Structure formats: C-alpha cells, structure tokens
Amino acid sequence: MRRVLCYDTTLRDGTQAEDISLTTEDKLRIALKLDELGLAYIEGGWPGSNPTDKRFFQEIQNYHLKYASIAAFGSTHNHRVTAETDPNLKALVDSGAPVVTIFGKSWDIHVTEALGTTLPRNLELVGDSLAYLRQHFREVFFDAEHFFDGYKANPDYALSVLRRAKEAGADVLVLCDTNGGTLPVEFRAIMSAVAAALPEARFGIHTHNDSGVAVANSLEAVELGAVQVQGTVNGYGERCGNANLCTIIPSLILKCGIDCLPEGKLPLLTPTAHFVSEMVNQQPPSNQPYVGDGAFAHKGGVHVSAVVKNPLTYEHVTPESVGNARRVLLSDLSGQSNILYKAREFGFELDKNDPFVLELLTTIKEREALGYEYTAAEASYELLLNRVLGRARSYFTVTRYRVLDDNVYESDEPLTEATVMIKVGGRVKHTASTGRGPINALDKAIRKALRGFYPRLAEMRLLDFKVRVLSGTVEDEQCGRGVCGTASHVRVLVESGDTAKRWVTVGVSHNVIEASFQAMEDAINYKLFSDDKEKLTKALKG
C-alpha cells in the first residue's frame, strides 16, 4: 500500500491564527497527543524566534515519542552573513531536533522586494543553508514559499530554486501555496509541470485555505505523487487557515487506499481534534468534515428513517471509522448507543433495556441541557456513571463555602479569602485560606479541610483550568435582550494530576466561582475514587 507522511504544523503555522497562542506546556501536551495519533512529523516551532519555542525543543527531549519525529522550523540564512555564522541556523542546530524544515523564497518579487536581495544571491542562500543543515540533521525539508505564485510569475526561476535545494541535499521539496490563491485546475497544471521537470525529486505539499480548496489541492498533490502532506489539526492557521489534516487523513485512508497513520489509529482522530480545540480554547466547528459534532447528525425525518434502515444511504463513511458518532437530532434515541459504548469503556456491560440506562440517559440529557459537556471531562462522566449505578461512595460533603474578594485601589493586591465547611462521616471541619484569586483561595481551603482525613490528597495538583461562556443559554432579568454576558452560564474544565495520571472534571453555573468549585469537588472525589478502584483491582488480582 502506498504511504504518505503527514507533517503537522499546528504548533508553528497554526499559532499564526488570530486567537491562538500556546504556552510551552500546551505545546508539549499537543505534541504528545499527536504522537499518540501516529503522525510522522510534528513541527515544534521556530527555535530562533522566541523563548516559548526554544523551551519546547529542550523539554520535548525528555519524552519518548513512539511515532513522530520533531521538526524545527526556520528560514534560509540572512543574506548579509554566511550559513556558518547565521544565528538562526545555529538555533536550529541547537534545538536538538532530528528533522529541520527551512523556508526560502521562490517568487522573484519576494526576493527583490521583501528580502531585498538579488535572484542569484537567493539561490546561494537556499543552497548554502541546506548544505549546512544537511550535516547536522537526519532529515532536511525545504519549504518553497509562495511556490505557485512564483511559478506563475517566473517559472524558470521558481524551478531553479527547487533544483538548488535538491542539489544541496533537501530530502523533500515542499511546494507551498502560501497565499492560498491557487485553484485546483491551475494547481494540477503547475504541479504536473514541476514533477516532469524534476523527475527525481520527492515532493511535499503545504496549502492555505484562502480559496476554500486547501484540502482539494492537497489531495491533488498526493494524486500527482507527493510523499508528504503538511497541514494543521482543525485547519488552524493565519487568515483562512492551513490545510486541515483532520479532513485529509480520513480521505486518504478510507477513500484513496493510502496509508498515512499506523494501523488502527484512525478512530483517535475525532478525540484528538477535540483535544486540540480545547487546548487552544476554541469551540470546535460542528460542521467540520469527519470530526465535527454535526458531521454525522441527521435532522430531516426522511434522512433519519433511511439512515436507520441503511446508514450508507446518508453517510459517506461510518462515523466509528474516524472515532465520531452518529447523532439523531430531536429524538429520544439520541445518545443511547454512545452511553452504552462509553459505559463499556469504564468496565460496565449494560443492556439497553436496563432501567439504569434510562436513568443515566435522562440524567445526562438534563445535565447536557444545562451546559455540562463530558467529551473532555471523562473523570466527571465516570463519577456520574458510578453514582447512578450506586457504586461511588461519598467521601465528603460540603455544607457551605464563602469567598470574599476585597480590592482597595491604593493597596498592592486584592485580598481574597475563602472559607469552607465540610462533613466527613459525622465530623465537621471549618477552614479558611487566602489565595491569588477566589478559585485559588477555595482550592487551598478545601485541601486544608480534607488533608487530615485523606493524606494522599497531598499528591494531587490542579494543573489547569479553562473557562467557556455558554452564551445564549440564560436571560438576565435586567437585560431581556437574549444573550447577556455577565449573567450567562459558564462551563469550567479543571485538569488535575497526581504522580501517575491526569484527569479532567467539569462544572457549570451562572457563577464562575460555583462552576469552578463543582469541578474541583469532582476532581478530589475522582482522585479518592480512582485510588480505591485501583486498590480493589489489585486486591482482587492478589
């Protein structure tokens, strides 16, 4: 079976998108997730350009990646110096990455206007930079920036840039449609001509979506022999985004018979797409091909009954093949199979006629209507499942908490104080703590209250929290105009971890403090519950 290698640039080109910025920790978590999916290359960033990226390349070396090779990104060397003395090329080498990708100019007006040098000098920059990097990396890729526009303006020059890159040792020549303006007909004509002119070369493709055809052009390129496809998760990227790998990958595997993920990994695609959208804190578009919540959602009655008879009638692929699920909108059937599926994951073989399933379905529907969302918050879901089935004990009860936030403008910092009253068995504990903000103060107060009862909570940390406003769910009595920001529901996701694992919990309320507190309560309960479960499993085995 023919193989194409996917090259992810979410961490570099994806962060050029308007609302996306990632910390080093975010980048590490995304990289590990993409490795799990089985992508061949993960471009980590531009180590010469900023400290976030530089730290990423240091930290990632502490992890063992199973499938992916990390690539460092940069440009050809500055035209005023040599490759050997260029600080940016040196930063690439120092990154410790096994793979490097540099971009160079292939459009004549960019050479003269943007770069401010001559056409022959640009050929030297390309050749010298690649020849230098060739000595330090396992693989070297060359991104021919603006290649398609360059070819239209001056085909001979554009080709001579590619030739020089190949001679200097580039393993793959990546043709970039940087402005995203090339339509498929023209794209095919140019790429065919280029492939004919350089019959020995291996090509990659990097497209942008300014004309809405980034995916189609990437598929054309593969059809014409490209061995590498560059893109981003969910198509994140500057302006209209990059080619969406979540669309390209299933089309290649399921429709073109091309191998681009390790065997059995395709069902991780939807969860990976949703994970990355959580990390960049953006609502995943419901209408995204293959991985969108709406990609297999059926509304019209005609469609629904046909789909129930034979899914093929209104579904181009099976939702399970990409880890998604069929949704029947406005119908009581919705969700049941997901619930059974999910319960199986947590070790419960439920029957759909089991009365617990109905209760669970009702509970979940009610909570989802309030804005709870369990896709990312699996720990909350597992707790809920066990509570409905009567298998989770109550470790503690909160009877009251209070937060006071006092901000006197001449003083340095606002004072925040939280008090928490809990019951464990028959004993009441009442504690207080200050903190940096209300959530932090509450977190500290509740730990103080519980640590005498459950010392192992000392291992647990709250690692991250995310807040999303669910606009349009509630009307404010004072507003009366539909959505009204400050009285909207908010959903808080809290990520916690101990030495062995990480888990995510959820809370929803009008009140950001209350929503956070719910998620923290769940997080602590989950820690205690999962430790007990593990002990029990060990005891049963031993």
Chain residues 322-341 in contact with a second copy, contact rule CB under 8 A: 329, 331
Cβ-based nearer residue to a second copy, 108 or 382: 108
The region of 92-100, 128-136, 353-361, 460-468 touching a second copy under the rule CB under 8 A is: 460-468
Residue 160 CA to chain centroid, in angstroms? 37
The region of 261-269, 305-313, 347-355, 531-539 touching a second copy under the rule CB under 8 A is: 305-313
Rounded to whole angstroms, the Cα distance separating 378 from 501 reads 13
Cβ-based nearer residue to a second copy, 114 or 536: 114
Kindly tell me the burial class for residue 351, based on how many C-beta atoms sit within 10 Å of its own C-beta (0-12, 13-18, 19 or more). exposed
Cβ-based nearer residue to a second copy, 166 or 444: 444
Q: Which of 297, 325, 339, 357 touches a second copy by CB under 8 A?
A: 297
Of the candidates 512, 11, 418, the one whose C-alpha atom is nearest the C-alpha of residue 245 is 11
Would you count residue 25 as binding a second copy (CB under 8 A)?
yes
Rounded to whole angstroms, the Cα distance separating 106 from 170 reads 15
The region of 134-142, 165-173, 315-323, 340-348 touching a second copy under the rule CB under 8 A is: 315-323
Would you count residue 144 as binding a second copy (CB under 8 A)?
no
Site size toward a second copy (CB under 8 A) is 137
Taking each helix axis from N to C end, the angle separating 24-37 and 51-60, rounded to the nearest 10 degrees, works out to 50
As measured in angstroms, the least distance from the Cβ of 407 to a second copy is 5
Would you count residue 432 as binding a second copy (CB under 8 A)?
no
Cβ-based nearer residue to a second copy, 172 or 504: 504
- Which one-letter amino acid corresponds to residue 452? G
Residues 482/500, Cβ–Cβ less than 8 Å? no
Rounded to whole angstroms, the Cα distance separating 321 from 268 reads 9
As measured in angstroms, the least distance from the Cβ of 166 to a second copy is 26
Would you count residue 444 as binding a second copy (CB under 8 A)?
yes
Q: Which of 82, 473, 530, 531 touches a second copy by CB under 8 A?
A: 473
Residues 180/214, Cβ–Cβ less than 8 Å? yes
- Which one-letter amino acid corresponds to residue 407? N
Residues 435/416, Cβ–Cβ less than 8 Å? yes
As measured in angstroms, the least distance from the Cβ of 355 to a second copy is 28
Cβ-based nearer residue to a second copy, 343 or 493: 493
Rounded to whole angstroms, the Cα distance separating 156 from 320 reads 48
Q: Which two tokens stand for residue 330?
A: 């406005």
Cβ-based nearer residue to a second copy, 357 or 403: 403
The region of 22-30, 79-87, 358-366, 383-391 touching a second copy under the rule CB under 8 A is: 22-30
Kindly tell me the burial class for residue 175, based on how many C-beta atoms sit within 10 Å of its own C-beta (0-12, 13-18, 19 or more). buried
Three-state DSSP class for residue 208: strand
Q: Is the dihedral of CA 468, 469, 472, 474 positive or negative?
A: positive
Cβ-based nearer residue to a second copy, 241 or 271: 241
The region of 132-140, 175-183, 199-207, 424-432 touching a second copy under the rule CB under 8 A is: 175-183
The residues in 382-421 that bind a second copy, with binding defined as CB under 8 A, are 397-410, 414, 416
Q: Which of 426, 485, 539, 542 touches a second copy by CB under 8 A?
A: 485
As measured in angstroms, the least distance from the Cβ of 109 to a second copy is 7
The region of 79-87, 156-164, 192-200, 249-257 touching a second copy under the rule CB under 8 A is: 249-257
Rounded to whole angstroms, the Cα distance separating 235 from 208 reads 9
CA dihedral 112, 116, 121, 122 (to 10 degrees): -70
* Binding string, residues 38-67; x marks residues near a second copy by CB under 8 A: ------------------------------
Q: Which of 64, 80, 309, 541 touches a second copy by CB under 8 A?
A: 309
Rounded to whole angstroms, the Cα distance separating 39 from 69 reads 9
Backbone angles phi, psi at 383, to 5 degrees: -65, -45
* Binding string, residues 92-121; x marks residues near a second copy by CB under 8 A: -----------------xx--xx-------
Would you count residue 375 as binding a second copy (CB under 8 A)?
yes
The region of 36-44, 82-90, 350-358, 513-521 touching a second copy under the rule CB under 8 A is: 513-521
Residues 151/158, Cβ–Cβ less than 8 Å? yes
Would you count residue 478 as binding a second copy (CB under 8 A)?
yes
Cβ-based nearer residue to a second copy, 77 or 468: 468
Three-state DSSP class for residue 168: coil
Rounded to whole angstroms, the Cα distance separating 225 from 227 reads 6
Rounded to whole angstroms, the Cα distance separating 365 from 369 reads 6
Three-state DSSP class for residue 11: coil
The residues in 180-239 that bind a second copy, with binding defined as CB under 8 A, are 180-181, 183-185, 209-213, 215-217, 219-220, 223, 235, 238-239
Q: Which of 53, 86, 378, 495 touches a second copy by CB under 8 A?
A: 495
Q: Which of 122, 207, 244, 277 touches a second copy by CB under 8 A?
A: 244
Rounded to whole angstroms, the Cα distance separating 58 from 528 reads 34
DSSP label of 182: -
Q: Which of 178, 270, 277, 525 touches a second copy by CB under 8 A?
A: 178
Would you count residue 353 as binding a second copy (CB under 8 A)?
no
Of the candidates 317, 306, 143, the one whose C-alpha atom is nearest the C-alpha of residue 230 is 143
Q: Which two tokens stand for residue 465?
A: 């929290």
Q: Which of 277, 288, 380, 525 touches a second copy by CB under 8 A?
A: 288
Cβ-based nearer residue to a second copy, 127 or 292: 292
Do strands 297-298 and 327-328 pair parallel, antiparallel, or not at all (unpaired)? parallel
The three-point CA angle 273-279-281 to 5° equals 100
Cβ-based nearer residue to a second copy, 168 or 291: 291
114 to each of 17, 46, 78, 124, 204, how far by Cα in Å? 22, 20, 13, 17, 24
Would you count residue 313 as binding a second copy (CB under 8 A)?
yes
